[in-house]
Amino acid sequence: MSEADPRIRGEIESRHAAAGDFLRRHTSDALLVADPANVSWFTLGAVAPASSDDFESPAIYLMPSHRWLLCSNLDTQWLFDGDLNGLGFNVKEWSWTFGRASLISELISGKKVASDRPCNGCQVVGAELAAMRRRLTEIEMERLRSLGADLAHALEATGRNFERGDSEAEIAGQLCHRLVRRGMVPVNVIVSADGRLRRYRRHSPSAAAPVERSCLLQATAKRHGLHVTASRMVCFDAPPADLRAEMECACRWTALLIVGATPRIAWPELWEKSLKFLQTTPYEHEWRSMPVGWLTGYRSVEALLIPTDSSRVLEDAAAIAWQGNIGAVTCADTVILTSSGPDIVTPVEMWPLKRIKVAGATVDRPDILIR
């Protein structure tokens, strides 16, 4: 049985205190946290639901003075023998033969309850909790850096070691093996052989698509409830001119976005700079083909950054996955916005890179590995 980290216990106490203030503002007796992303956030990833059914995954019930984990009898022992031990949670358990709904109905009966999901007339406060969830603490930033370094290592090791002629599916399997070995959960894996990304901007790894000339590797991985995304590009022999030009543009585009994304900048302002850059290239309309960036954290996509979002302001201590997709290549990394500059949490480990200067700042972007 593991001992609780005092820093994590202190962070959870702080979140519980904030929840108490939240309840007083909403004049509610209790808060029901049922969204798995919020459960992971409140417990700092100590509760990562094993069930694929959101409505049978653990939940949290909070009053100003107490907190309970609501969970199935299938999960209780595992959770409290693991990371949840010593974090100050009581437990209310439901039998798998009855399910979660009956326990929740009993708990909230006769009380004024706020909930992050619609539930039996509760006041829905999911949007407010999501805003709190996206502000990263120092512990969460440390975990993102560790997770990002491990994801970059797995991508690069896979890129250096797969064989010419391996299928997309085989390479995806190699990558997932490396992720799982380092305690990561693969959330999304893209392996695109020989320029197939130009035709299929989003596709699953295929057993019928061998890599003969080039391969894009991209993955989103999760650990402690947090997500990071990154990509790497591999080419056998010298890359053709079109691939090289696409990679040059993708690197410069993402460098501009990374450097330009400063805390409190209005998203429309940064988007306009991005468009002006693309207009100087042959790829002016490539942004229409793939998402350019999204806020990430306890959801793989906390909020998609879309051109029409005129009110979005980028906040300090937020994580953003930037994805520059040009033709057959993608240059993607996850970055934490800080007042001292961008913190790339998926940095190059052993990989060719481009060192690009933007507005007086220098940023490293992963280039094509030629094998």
43 lies in a domain? yes
For residues 227 and 90, state if they share a domain: no
CA-nearest of 251, 271, 270 to 367 is 251
Measured in whole angstroms, how far is the alpha carbon of residue 173 from the centre of its chain? 21
For residue 113, give its domain range.
6-133
For residues 206 and 349, state if they share a domain: yes
294 lies in a domain? yes
For residues 278 and 339, state if they share a domain: yes
Report the amino acid identity of residue 155. Answer: L
Number of domains in the chain: 2
d(CA 12, CA 17): 9
For residues 127 and 149, state if they share a domain: no
d(CA 307, CA 289): 13
Residues 39, 61 contacting (CB under 8 angstroms): no
DSSP 93: E
303 vs 320, 324, 337, CA distance in Å? 9, 17, 15
For residues 64 and 158, state if they share a domain: no
d(CA 99, CA 70): 11
End-to-end CA distance of the chain: 46
- pLDDT of 98: 87
Neighbours of 200 (CB within 10 A): 10
d(CA 333, CA 364): 11
Measured in whole angstroms, how far is the alpha carbon of residue 198 from the centre of its chain? 25
For residues 123 and 143, state if they share a domain: no
Helices (H), 26-137: 36-42, 76-81, 100-108, 126-133
349 lies in a domain? yes
CA-nearest of 221, 174, 214, 219 to 198 is 214
CA-nearest of 56, 66, 48, 64 to 103 is 56
Q: How would you label 144-161 residue by residue, b for 16+ Cβ within 10 Å and e otherwise? A: bbbbbbbbbbbbbebbee
Q: What is the pLDDT along the chain (371 residues), one digit of tens a residue?
A: 456 789 999 999 999 999 999 999 999 999 999 999 999 999 999 886 555 566 788 999 999 999 999 999 988 998 898 888 899 999 999 998 888 999 999 999 999 999 999 988 899 999 999 999 999 999 999 999 999 999 999 999 999 999 999 999 999 999 999 999 999 999 999 999 999 999 999 999 999 999 999 999 999 999 999 999 999 999 999 999 999 999 999 999 999 999 999 999 999 999 999 999 999 999 999 999 999 999 999 999 999 999 999 999 999 999 999 999 999 999 999 999 999 999 999 999 999 999 999 988 999 999 999 99
For residues 145 and 216, state if they share a domain: yes
Residues 136, 336 contacting (CB under 8 angstroms): yes
118 lies in a domain? yes
For residues 194 and 113, state if they share a domain: no
63 lies in a domain? yes
The number of residues in the chain equals 371
- pLDDT of 289: 94
For residues 100 and 181, state if they share a domain: no
325 lies in a domain? yes
Residues 47, 39 contacting (CB under 8 angstroms): yes
Residues 53, 28 contacting (CB under 8 angstroms): no
Read off the tokens for 308.
């029409």
Residue owning tokens 């999760």: 222
Neighbours of 239 (CB within 10 A): 22
1 lies in a domain? no
Task: Show which of 94, 118, 133 is a domain's final residue.
Answer: 133
d(CA 21, CA 87): 20
For residues 171 and 312, state if they share a domain: yes
For residues 157 and 260, state if they share a domain: yes
Task: Show which of 115, 133, 151 is a domain's final residue.
Answer: 133
CA-CA-CA-CA torsion sign (8, 14, 18, 24)? positive
316: domain CATH number? 3.90.230.10
For residues 170 and 104, state if they share a domain: no
36: domain CATH number? 3.40.350.10
Task: Show which of 133, 148, 174 is a domain's final residue.
Answer: 133
d(CA 297, CA 165): 36
Exposed/middle/buried for residue 350 (C-beta within 10 Å: 0-12, 13-18, 19+): exposed
DSSP 298: S
The SS3 of residue 153 is helix
Q: Express each pLDDT in 248-270 by its tens digit.
A: 999 999 999 999 999 999 999 99
DSSP track, 227-281? EEEEEEEEESSSPPHHHHHHHHHHHHHHHHHHHH--TT-BHHHHHHHHHHHHTTS
| Whole-number CA gyration radius for the chain | 22
158 lies in a domain? yes
